[in-house]
Structure 1
Amino acid sequence: MLGLWWVTDQTIRETLATSTRNNVDVDLAGLIDIHASGGRSELERRIADRLAVVPVDGSRPHYLLADAKGGAIAGDIQSWPALDPAISESGTIPIGDRTQAYARATLIAPGLRLLVAHEPLDEGPLLARVATVFLLGGAIFVACIALFAQAASGRIRQRVSQVSSAFRASDDDALKRLTMPDRPDEIDRIASQAADAIKRARQLSEANRETSEQIAHEIRTPLMHLDTRLVKALKQQGSDPTTAAHLAEARGEIRRLVGTLEALLDIASSKARTGDSQGMKPVDLSTMVSGICELYADSAEEAGYDFQWQIAPDVTMIGDAAQLGRIVTNLLDNAFKYNRDNGAIRVELAPGPVLTVSDDGPGIPDADRERVFDRFYRGKAASGGQSGSGLGLALARAIAARHGLQIHLVPGTIGARFVVEPESEDAV
């Protein structure tokens, strides 16, 4: 709009200047004709008549009829300007102290020269009106564009929000609608491609899970059959204590293998469903954690541990209750397993939710603070004969990640202190 106004302003100025030059030329030609037909006296009379008329457009004319030396004969211009009449030179000359006029000089007879000058048209009011029109038009134009942009961006935000909601819900019907838009445009095409990618990923994940479960079933079944045979052998072997001990040890190894296999499947399943809220419901963490702590209280008393818990009321979150319970039990198992004799175990639950499980065991070196969450990793504290596959903390972290939580170790003077809390923005 600004560029268009500038072009219009310059065009108006040039048009008015051209009109003034044309008026001077027409006026000069008319006076030459008058001199040719009526002579010098008639020319002087006509110049006087024209000076007496006040033009309505404000473009006042000025004249000078002079002799060969430039002496004034008629007109209102007092002296001859620096314009050569022999070549009909034109240019801008001063009229008084403040006015400039466009003039043209010419010889109309030997020893007689004529100068015609016109003041330029008053362009100020016209240019001001044009500027006002452009200012108002520009304001209306910008307002219309702003309203259109606001409406368009609002519609785009609404559509993007709908697409995001469909992706977050991972609902099959919603994803199907994204892949089959009524009037596809760029956003619909992107959403459709993303929905197709999600569906393919879910199909691959489902196929991988089915394959893993099938493999696990094929391995678990013969192991359980072998365990059954060992039980029968224990009943039939008589009273040989050595053989009974070996058979019992073999049964323990089988159970350990089955537990390891199931833990690996749980970790893979949790990682595959990270960010997937399908099937999640509100969970009363206060009630769930209190119930788990009450179940562990007897074991703590038998082991000689000082077991205490402090649970804030009405702490809830959206999640899978069974999996969230696995986080608590795995952390408690870890605390019971590696605590010192007569040590303390503390469980705290605060709004957030923030779950803290601490013990008075040997603690975890700084170099191992992240490695303890790796699968099959067991630190030096586990070398003292403690059983385990090294999958408990890995499973707890996988479940936490699926629920938008993070598990980390808090540095302390004694023991280990695990904290489960919502993922921070930096972590996300």
Structure 2
Amino acid sequence: MVRKLWPRSLKQRLIAQLLVLQLTILLVFGLSFVTLLVVADEGGVLIGPAPVETAFAAIERGPAGKLAFAKTDKLADLLAKHPKFWFIARSDRGEILQIGEVPEIYKGISQTLDRMTYSDIRDVGDPSPYLAVLRRRSSPAGDFTVFGQGELISERSLILTFSRVSLAPMLLLLALVTVIGVPWIVNRAIKGISQLAAETDGIDIARRSYRLTETAIPSEVRPLVQGIKGALHRLDVAYDRHQRFILDAAHELRTPVAILQARLDSLAAGPDRDRLIADCERISALAEQLLDLQRLEANAKPLTPVDLVELCRDVAADLAPLAIDQGYELSFEPEVERSPIQGDPASLSRAITNLIQNAIEHAGNQGSIVVRVACDRVIEISDDGPGIPEAERERVFEPFHRLKPRDRGAGLGLNLVLQIVQRHGAQIRILTSPSGGACFRLAFADQAA
């Protein structure tokens, strides 16, 4: 697997690239500045005051208050390296302390040190025997003007010194500012995109007219948002056209089916007539279920208080004759006296009816069908039939999906139940009943187990 050079996140990629760009620019600028500084100086080198600083650091006052040079290792190394080293220091009291012989050309300067504060002097000779520096310095021994032999600083040393003293802290400071500041700037810049991403949660089949806002997004992203809005509009138009077609087709289908049923009823009794009537009933059921789906989609009503116990009792009472006629024992077993929720009574009644009819159709025309209202707003409808295999328990809610081909039913009943349950914010699960049959469990108001 090949790893990408930059992270996939746009924000991280912007931060990384800006950081590298800024650090590169600062590094090039720093090196160019040092190079220019060095080249601009005559001879390409500068003077360093290190020998004078070493000599000054060795100045001390003795017990009697007299100035003297301490015998330090650094001073000894300096004198060993430069046998002709010279140095003179004048205190503000007029005291003079000297090492070596001051060159003839500087003797006049050495006598007027009290009037000077700073100077770098370099001659044109090679190896420049008259390099000199003049500085003002303070120490426990007092305040001094020091004048002495300097040394040449190479370009490499100058660049390294400048990099260590100035460039490195600047790079570190810029890195900190970039790491802290750039994410803040980028976050502010893409804040609108983050809000836009959160708005996409509002896109749903039940809210097809919902559209994304464009007020706080960058202009570069606006064409994409406009494209998405256009695509959503086209989908809405196509969906509405599709829904109208299904609704019109279902309505148109009812009339010829009713005529066909009337003509079939007038035929002489016999096996052919019974089969034709069963087929006609299946077509009629399909048309009615299609109409139910469209009514549920188009006529979403505000939720009102509904008592699940009363609702299930009424539906069970209405379907009891049909269940008994098909060889079942239908019982209603409430575990609570009342189970109130906010819902649509008509659609909930339709969902419970479909589940009981599904049990009547598939449970083998024997045993019992139990409608139970449990605590925590739970409804269970179980039977003693063959049950539903676990692998099929999700697919049975798909439109027109059937476990076995049958003469009756259209395969839309459970899909309608699922849509009704989802519109009420509930959950539906298929379990195994104690007798091994199917058990449909509806749980409302986030009380699902």
- What TM-score range do you get, normalising by the shorter chain? 0.5 to 0.7
* Pairing 1:364–2:388 present: yes
More helix by share: 1
> Aligned partners of 2:243, 2:365: CA distance in 1, in Å?
40
Of 35, 38, 45, the residue aligned with 2:104 is 45
Gap change, CA 1:205 and 1:13, over 3 Å in 2? closer
One-letter code aligned to 2:311 = G
Gap change, CA 1:378 and 1:169, over 3 Å in 2? closer
> Aligned partners of 2:373, 2:104: CA distance in 1, in Å?
115
* Pairing 1:10–2:64 present: no
Matches within 5 A, 1:223-234: 223-228=257-262, 233=266
Of 426, 429, 440, the residue aligned with 1:418 is 440
The offset of 1:158, in angstroms, is 3.3
Of 257, 278, 281, the residue aligned with 2:283 is 257
Gap change, CA 1:153 and 1:169, over 3 Å in 2? farther
Of 99, 102, 111, the residue aligned with 2:152 is 102
Residue 377 of structure 1 contacts residue 391 of structure 1 at CA under 8 Å; is this kept in 2? no
Matches within 5 A, 1:58-207: 101-102=151-152, 128=165, 139=176, 144-162=181-199, 165=202, 170=207, 172=209, 175=211, 185-207=219-241
Match of 2:333, SS state, is strand
Gap change, CA 1:281 and 1:409, over 3 Å in 2? same
Further displaced range: 145-154 or 335-344: 335-344
One-letter code aligned to 1:296 = A
Of 355, 368, 377, the residue aligned with 1:331 is 355
One-letter code aligned to 1:417 = C
Residue 20 of structure 1 contacts residue 121 of structure 1 at CA under 8 Å; is this kept in 2? no
The offset of 1:150, in angstroms, is 3.1
Match of 1:410, SS state, is strand
Structure 1 gaps of 5+ residues are 27-42, 67-73, 78-98, 104-116, 235-241
> Aligned partners of 1:65, 1:213: CA distance in 2, in Å?
105
Identity fraction in percent: 22
One-letter code aligned to 2:316 = Y
Of 334, 339, 364, the residue aligned with 1:309 is 334
The offset of 1:296, in angstroms, is 0.6
Of 353, 357, 368, the residue aligned with 1:343 is 368
> Aligned partners of 1:24, 1:159: CA distance in 2, in Å?
60
Query: TM-score when scaled to structure 2?
Result: 0.55
Provide Cα deviations, 1:389-421, integer angstroms capped at 9, x if missing partner. 554334434555676766443245521122346
Match of 1:157, SS state, is helix
1:209 is aligned to: 243
One-letter code aligned to 1:258 = S
Gap change, CA 1:298 and 1:196, over 3 Å in 2? closer
The offset of 1:323, in angstroms, is 3.6
> Aligned partners of 2:246, 2:131: CA distance in 1, in Å?
111
1:84 is aligned to: none
Further displaced range: 142-151 or 129-138: 129-138
> Aligned partners of 1:65, 1:390: CA distance in 2, in Å?
105
1:294 is aligned to: 314
> Aligned partners of 2:409, 2:441: CA distance in 1, in Å?
22
Residue 57 of structure 1 contacts residue 121 of structure 1 at CA under 8 Å; is this kept in 2? no
Query: TM-score when scaled to structure 1?
Result: 0.57
> Aligned partners of 1:169, 1:295: CA distance in 2, in Å?
27
The offset of 1:206, in angstroms, is 2.2
